[in-house]
Every structure is written in structure tokens, then in C-alpha cells.
Amino acid sequence: MITRYFVPTLLQRLADKQPLIQLILGPRQVGKTTAAKQIMEKYKGKSIYTSAEQTIRVDNLWITEQWQEAQQAGAGTLLIIDEIQKIENWSEKIKALWDAQSDKTPIKLMLLGSSSLRIQTGLTESLVGRYELTQAYHWSFPESLEAFSYSLDDYLVYGGYPGADRFKDDFERWFQYMKASIVDPMIGQDILSHHTITKPALFRQAFSLLCAYPCREISLTSLLGQLQDKGNTDLIKHYLELFEGVFIFKSLSKYSTRFISSKNSIPKIISMCPAFYTLVKGPQAVQDPAQKGFLFESIVGADLVRAFGDQVFYWREKNAEVDFVVQHFDKLYAIEVKSGDTKNTTGMKEFCAKFTSATPIWIRLENYLEFCTDPKGFLTLANTQCPSP
């Protein structure tokens, strides 16, 4: 069984005498629970796992019950609560229990959640300074390669959700599994059940439309024009924010030294899981060079977002463009993705002329595995050994 990338980091943090609350957030079905149980197996001490998924009681007294059980198990016991967002006012109760615990019987706490939309308010209002956040993203190509011996084309078509692998040789079953186990719960339970959406059908249509644009710059007005109902750009922007909140898409801004210009730019939509494109285009899409190019660029973008978060942008001025720009502390990287033999280098030249401190980097099919295995390390090495296009 594969060990997800964040397990060693969490074990190291939990080894501290007085660690902060460890919060793991990520989409459904990417192995958060499995990772938590792997941590339990390796944790040097007692541990208790419980989940709010199946509990009938949704009031926060249920949390108190779990907390007391952990305290009775002894100091240093690790309490893991899965699907914490299911409990109403969970953050206030966690804060009260965490702050009141005795030095004689301190416990260590790990919380898992599949929707940042419900969790975010509790973090900003109740638990400030008390937690460390770990993002559990969709599976990367190296993880899929190790676990299922995926080729890159396999990953571009089916990658991201390990539970769906058993059906990848039967597309109809794979499609139904993804719809019933991933998409419907994600939209219905993680979003629509917690946010008032006046037009649910329009919202679902927006999801399918966004799936069809991996790594494309597309204005909110253009998106609105393709929907089969009336609305406005503020509505589309809100939809996109909700989808980002459950880790489906990431909207990149244009790189600019002026903050306002960057925030008001046309977004570039990154799909955080390549399988979403397959849901709307089918498994044969990867055989088309143009579509494969967009998919390949999108998974590179997702790798960069996993590594650098909100420090990832794109750049365009008229017909000159750079696929991705990463501003990592004092380092600036301009990244071009090449899935074919040729690609216009005008954008890279103009960007590097405008931003002379930038390091140009080219990611190709041939060096993709090296890049995605360690994106930060790849960029750092390139900063001293600049490749040529």
C-alpha cells in the first residue's frame, strides 16, 4: 500500500512534545482516512480513530465524548476525528477542549475534513494559532505510477482517484463510479447542502463546462455565454469559488507586479484532477495531440499548485504568453510546457526581457517525471542549471 506524501511530515510533527492541532483537508476519495490509519500504525503511543460520517448525533457534545475517551487512554494519546465538518459548531468545541486540557493529561489531535467550505470559518474565527494545515491533494502521477503502474496516458485519462482504478478497463463502470461516488456527493453534499444555490441545474452545468477547459484562459463573460440559463459574471465567479473550495479547480491570475491588475485578470482554469476532463470528453480525448497538450499542461499546473499554492500565475501580453509563472519568495520562475516538438518561444523571450530576474524553465514529456516527483527541487536545480528550449 502506498504511503501518501504527507504522512512522514505529520508523524514528525506529532513527535513534538506539544504539537499543534493537525488538520488535513482534501477532496473526497484521495486517501485521507487511509493515511490517518497509517499514521496510527506508526505512531509511538496510543491512538483512537473516530468518524463523524456515520454518527447520528451531530451536536458537538459528541466531540466531548470522544475527547474524554482519549484522555482516559492516557497522556499523549492521539485522537483522530474524521469528517469533522459534519459536526455543527465543531470549532468552538475543539477550541474550548483544547484550551482547557490539563498539562498532566494532554492529548494530541488530528482532524480530517473533505470540504474546506464548512471548515474555513471555524479556522479563521476560533482556532487561529492552534493548528497546522496539511493539504491532501488528488493523487499525482508518481503516486499512480507506483501504485498502479500507470503510464502517463493512463494518468491523463483516469488519474487522481485511486478507488476508480479497478474500473478503468470498463469505461461505463468507471464513469458511473466517478459520478455516484465522487461528483454527486461532492456537489450535492459538500456544496449544495451547505450553500444556497438558487439554480442547482445551472451550477451542475457550470461544473461540466469548467471540466472541458483544462488549463485555458477563459473570461467569466465567455463562460456565462455558454450556459443555458441567465445569470451574471458575479454568479459565475461565485460558482468558481465554491468549486475551488472543494479542491476541484484552481483559478490562476495573470502575473503582474501590481496586485489589482493581477486580481482583475482573466482567469486560467486549472483542473486539479485530469479525470474530470475524461468525464465530459471520454477516454479517447488523449489520442488527439491538441487535447493531450492541454491535459499535459493542466497536470503540470496542478503539480505547481500542489507545491507552491497561491504563488502560481500565468502571463500574457497580446500574443506573447508564458504558461506558468511561480513567485517563490525572492525567486521568479517562467515555465513553458511542451508536449510536442515545436512551440513559439516569443512569450518566454518577452517575459525574461521584462522581468530580468526570472529563470526560464521548460517541462517536456521527457523530463516530466523528474519534475513532478519533486517540483520544488526541480525548479531550484534549474535556477543554477538553466536548461535550453
Which sequence spans correspond to the domains of the chain?
7-135, 141-384
Query: 87-91 contacts: CB < 8 A, separation 24 or more?
Result: 87/52, 87/58, 87/59, 87/60, 87/62, 87/63, 88/58, 88/59, 88/60, 89/60, 90/60, 90/63, 90/122, 91/119, 91/121, 91/122, 91/123, 91/125, 91/126, 91/127
**Binned average pLDDT, 10 residues per bin, the chain of 389 residues:** 91 93 93 95 95 71 93 94 87 92 86 77 77 94 96 96 96 96 89 80 88 87 74 80 89 85 79 95 93 95 96 93 95 93 80 94 95 95 60
380/389 Cα distance (integer angstroms): 18
72/354 Cα distance (integer angstroms): 63
- Residue 122: the pLDDT is 63
277/155 Cα distance (integer angstroms): 12
Residue 99, helix vs strand vs coil:
helix
- Amino acid letter at 137? Y
- Residue 265: the pLDDT is 82
Residue reference for cell 451542475: 204
CA–CA distances in Å: residue 239 to residues 23, 226, 231, 275, 301: 25, 14, 11, 20, 21
- Residue 387: the pLDDT is 46
Q: Write the class of the CATH domain 7-135.
A: alpha beta
C-alpha cell at 62: 459528541
Prediction pTM value: 0.90
- Residue 378: the pLDDT is 96
CA–CA distances in Å: residue 229 to residues 61, 267, 305: 44, 22, 32
- Cβ–Cβ under 8 Å, residues 214 and 285: no
- Contacts for 261 with CB less than 8 Å, ≥ 6 apart: 254
Beta strand 108-113 with 78-82: parallel, antiparallel or unpaired? parallel
C-alpha cell at 356: 530580468
Residue reference for cell 475534513: 113
